[in-house]
């Protein structure tokens, strides 16, 4: 999605949020007035998996990387060096990577130098060196080379200074005893100042005079920062925070030094992906604290977070993506986190989805409802919409007219030109759940059929005994989903507890896996992963287990499981027998609840859905089920049967709306309205409002005409 923005114009237009923060237009690098003056907020894009946070950060990088110093760091993937000493941490590794990315020349400006950061990283790297293990010291020193090369490329890349540091190391600990971190840090810094730093760069040592207990003496500050780093805990956090400040100060000096005044345009940019992780917080919080304390810098920090309720965003100014297109106010309060602007990424719109499909199917061979169906299935996640649109482009034109969202999941797609095609559903699922281990993914595939924690634990005890005898694997996976930004394990809605015993169920069932797209993909894997059609052994075993869990009574939860197994007679009979009751809204809710069951479809099926023939009255069903019924009851039974199949088809996220079926649904509801002795109004309202809901890609409202289903 790099060539077109699809809803991200608010950030990347010439007058968008990024331009107003950085002071430059994307690509052309024309000057733009800063919106926030000398106090830019830390901007955090929030949204779940697949909402395009990473893609947006990469677009910002591509738009600005030649115009201003810029670095992009994924806080989930900071590579840990092999055989590193205790002087390395994710924070120091991240700071070194940021400095290397920020240093190259851009436009007509000189490369950015990082002498303060280089000194600090060298000091903390030395904390465990000893004469007996000078090889580890050599490795740690050589890893500093790229950062030191930002100070002086020729001297930093040379190895002579490494030998001199090792010589001082030997002199400092000649007796082979355990080293004193502070003394080694000072000896290392002295060598760097003498052999790598130039005359003006040596003044950067004074920065560490402001460190705790340094009293204005830079050498003492470097000693103390190494000692604190070696102690771990809160002391290490203080040391790491000061090193973050060193990076920011080096960037600031690059913009305000006397010899550089006026030579740089715009501001430097640090992009932090997955900043909700602990590393992201350790990198961002020192910047926020310094700014809250009145220190000003030129750095634009733009981050992403899957957790919109993260503690680090507690007092953030919150706006939705379209709202920041022209103005993004972020008033600073007394709380440190008030310096954060949290921008919630919004789903793609219907028009943006249609535009994506038109790009891959310019001749318009697909059904006109397909983009809307994909939008409903994916919830507007750019990742899902873009991938499924790409699948359309790879489908032969002769087959595109029969495509449905479910059919797209059954196909394969070439994600990369140099790789073979891969299954669409599996690829999308792997992209949405990259952190799960294979055994966890296999267990979650089983648990996706569960409604709640209780039924999930019942499934785990029966189907996943090897993983957890007591079913605790369900709770572990619930916590793993929540940690990854997916809501999971919600309790049943009010009244639904009774539904399992025959009471009224709400129209919207609760689920163990609450996200609709994630649940659909997991159920797709459950049905098709084994490739054992037409037996579908895993699918049948899981749903039979849930059927037994809910007992023999024809309650809504049991009837829903029967539909998932392809058995509709029980649901039709139960709905017919309870139709005459006084609670018509409750009857409609039970209809919606039961028909929320996943349809046990076959893979690679093109053409009409088998439910369509039943809904339109073309398949009257088995004669045996009507034996012994009088004419009026038979007519009611068949009407309920047609209605159930119509609603089941029209609310299926893997199917497409069918005008004939919509019309038949409305007809059946009106017919039933005339049959009911006292509750005709809700049925009549459903006949009016449910077709509108379906055509607007909403769940049928409950009660009919309310906004509950929107």
Count the neighbouring beta carbons within 10 Å of the beta carbon of residue 142.
11
Look at residues 93, 82, 416 and name the one whose alpha carbon lies nearest to residue 283. Answer: 93
Write out pLDDT tens, residues 523-561: 999 999 988 888 999 999 999 999 999 988 889 999 999
Write out pLDDT tens, residues 273-326: 999 999 999 999 999 999 999 999 989 999 999 988 889 999 999 999 999 999
Report the alpha-carbon distance of residue 541 to residue 535 in Å, rounded. Answer: 10
DSSP string, 397-466: HHHHTT--HHHHHHSEE-SSTTS--EEHHHHHHHHH-TT--HHHHHHHHHHTT-SSHHHHHHHHHHH-TT
CB 44 within 8 A of CB 343: yes
Alpha-carbon 68 to chain mean position: 28
Write out pLDDT tens, residues 441-500: 999 999 999 988 899 999 999 999 887 666 689 999 999 998 888 864 333 323 333 333
Task: Inform me whether the pLDDT recorded for 507 exceeds 80.
Answer: no
Supply the mean pLDDT for the chain. Answer: 87
Task: Inform me whether the pLDDT recorded for 522 exceeds 90.
Answer: yes
Burial of residue 462 (CB within 10 Å: 0-12, 13-18, 19+) is middle
pLDDT (average), residues 667-689: 94
Report the alpha-carbon distance of residue 555 to residue 575 in Å, rounded. Answer: 10
pLDDT (average), residues 356-366: 93
Look at residues 570, 607, 604 and name the one whose alpha carbon lies nearest to residue 590. Answer: 570
Rounded to 5 degrees, what angle do the CA atoms 470, 473, 479 make?
A: 130
Rounded to 5 degrees, what angle do the CA atoms 409, 413, 414 make?
A: 165
Task: Inform me whether the pLDDT recorded for 162 exceeds 80.
Answer: no
User: What's the pLDDT score for residue 293?
Assistant: 93
Write out pLDDT tens, residues 591-604: 999 999 999 998 88
Percent of the chain with pLDDT over 70: 89
Task: Inform me whether the pLDDT recorded for 623 exceeds 80.
Answer: no
pLDDT band for position 263 (cuts 50, 70, 90): low
What are the start-end ranges of the E strands in 536-607? none
Write out pLDDT tens, residues 13-42: 999 999 999 999 999 999 999 999 889 999
Task: Inform me whether the pLDDT recorded for 260 exceeds 60.
Answer: no
Task: Inform me whether the pLDDT recorded for 177 exceeds 50.
Answer: no
Task: Inform me whether the pLDDT recorded for 606 exceeds 80.
Answer: no
Which comes out higher in pLDDT, residue 144 or 305?
305
pTM for the whole structure: 0.89
Highest mean pLDDT (candidates 222-226, 250-254, 341-345): 341-345
Report the alpha-carbon distance of residue 547 to residue 551 in Å, rounded. Answer: 7
Burial of residue 468 (CB within 10 Å: 0-12, 13-18, 19+) is middle
């Amino acid at each position: 999605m790099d060539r077109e923005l699809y809803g991200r114009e608010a950030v990347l237009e010439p007058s968008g949020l990024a331009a107003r923060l950085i002071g430059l237009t994307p690509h052309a690098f024309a000057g733009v007035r800063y919106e926030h003056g000398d106090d830019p907020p830390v901007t955090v894009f929030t949204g779940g998996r697949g909402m395009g946070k990473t893609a947006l950060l990469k677009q910002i990088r591509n738009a600005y990387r030649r115009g201003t110093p810029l670095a992009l760091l994924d806080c989930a993937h900071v590579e840990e060096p092999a055989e590193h000493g205790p002087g390395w941490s994710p924070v120091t590794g991240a700071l070194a990577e940021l400095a290397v990315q920020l240093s190259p020349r851009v436009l007509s400006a000189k490369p950015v130098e990082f002498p303060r950061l280089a000194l600090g990283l060298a000091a903390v790297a030395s904390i465990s060196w000893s004469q007996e293990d000078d090889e580890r010291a050599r490795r740690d020193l050589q890893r500093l080379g790229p950062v030191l090369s930002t100070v002086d490329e020729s001297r930093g890349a040379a190895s002579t200074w490494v030998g001199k540091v090792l010589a001082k190391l030997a002199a400092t600990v000649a007796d082979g005893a355990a080293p004193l971190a502070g003394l080694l840090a000072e000896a290392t810094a002295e060598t760097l100042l003498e052999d790598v730093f130039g005359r003006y760069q040596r003044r950067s040592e004074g920065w560490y005079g402001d460190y705790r207990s340094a009293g204005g003496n830079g050498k003492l500050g470097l000693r103390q920062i190494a000692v604190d780093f070696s102690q771990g805990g809160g002391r290490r956090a203080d040391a790491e925070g000061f090193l973050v400040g060193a990076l920011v100060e080096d960037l600031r000096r690059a913009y305000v030094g006397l010899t550089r005044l006026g030579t740089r345009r715009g501001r430097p940019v640090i992009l932090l992906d997955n900043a909700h992780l602990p590393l992201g917080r350790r990198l961002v919080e020192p910047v926020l604290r310094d700014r809250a304390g009145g220190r000003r810098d030129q750095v634009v920090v733009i981050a992403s977070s899957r957790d919109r309720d993260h503690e680090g965003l507690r007092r953030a100014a919150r706006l939705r993506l379209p709202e920041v297109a022209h103005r993004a106010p972020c008033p600073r309060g007394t709380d440190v986190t008030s310096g954060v602007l949290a921008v919630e990424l919004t789903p793609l719109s219907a028009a943006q989805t249609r535009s994506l499909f038109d790009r891959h199917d310019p001749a318009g061979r697909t059904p006109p409802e397909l983009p809307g169906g994909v939008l409903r299935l994916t919830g507007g996640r750019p990742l899902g919409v873009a991938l499924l649109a790409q699948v359309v482009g790879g489908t032969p034109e002769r087959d595109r007219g029969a495509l449905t969202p479910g059919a797209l999941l059954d196909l394969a797609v070439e994600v990369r030109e140099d790789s073979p095609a891969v299954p669409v559903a599996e690829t999308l699922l792997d992209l949405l759940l990259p952190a799960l281990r294979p055994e966890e993914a296999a267990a979650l595939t089983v648990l996706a059929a569960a409604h709640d924690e209780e039924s999930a634990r019942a499934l785990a005890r029966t189907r996943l005994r090897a993983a957890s005898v007591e079913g605790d694997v369900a709770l572990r996976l619930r916590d793993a989903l929540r940690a990854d930004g997916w809501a999971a394990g919600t309790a049943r809605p009010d009244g639904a507890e009774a539904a399992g015993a025959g009471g009224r169920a709400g129209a919207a069932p609760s689920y163990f896996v609450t996200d609709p797209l994630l649940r659909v993909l997991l159920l797709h894997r459950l049905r098709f992963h084994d490739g054992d059609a037409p037996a579908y052994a895993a699918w049948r075993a899981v749903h039979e287990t849930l059927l037994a869990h809910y007992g023999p009574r024809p309650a809504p939860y049991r009837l829903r499981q029967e539909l998932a197994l392809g058995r509709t007679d029980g649901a039709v009979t139960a709905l017919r027998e309870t139709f005459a009751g006084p609670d018509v809204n409750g009857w409609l809710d039970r209809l919606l609840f039961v028909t929320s069951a996943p349809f046990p479809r076959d893979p690679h099926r093109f053409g009409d859905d088998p439910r369509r023939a039943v809904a339109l009255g073309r398949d009257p069903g088995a004669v045996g089920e009507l034996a012994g019924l009088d004419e009026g009851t038979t007519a009611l039974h068949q009407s309920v049967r047609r209605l159930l199949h119509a609603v089941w088809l029209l609310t299926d996220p893997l199917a497409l709306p069918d005008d004939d079926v919509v019309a038949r649904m409305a007809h059946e509801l009106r017919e039933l309205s005339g049959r009911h002795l006292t509750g005709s109004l809700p049925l009549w309202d459903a006949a009016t409002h449910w077709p509108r809901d379906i055509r607007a890609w909403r769940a049928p409202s409950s009660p009919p005409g309310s906004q509950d289903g929107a």
